[in-house]
Amino acid sequence: MTFPLNCSYNKNLKQKICPVCKKDDKVIPILYGLMEFDANGNSLFKDYGEFKPGGCDVSECDPTWYCKRDDCRF
């Protein structure tokens, strides 16, 4: 996914180091789109591993990563 040239998230596409704590051990990807669940309430996206749901509304400039330690999207 590429962002417009003026998007502040361009610098974080491949580098998943949190800008707050400067670590990457608690950083997970943000996935966008409609989250689907089975009858037991389990996410059907478990093949992706751990991730932060980003919601259904996607713009041209959205964060790629989420730090669980600092509750920070970047």
Give the model confidence (pLDDT) of 9-29 as tens digits: 876 677 889 999 999 999 999
Is pLDDT above 60 for 1? no
Q: Are the beta carbons of 54 and 32 closer than 8 angstroms?
A: yes
Give the model confidence (pLDDT) of 28-37 as tens digits: 999 888 877 7
Residue in the structure block whose two tokens are 């478990």: 46
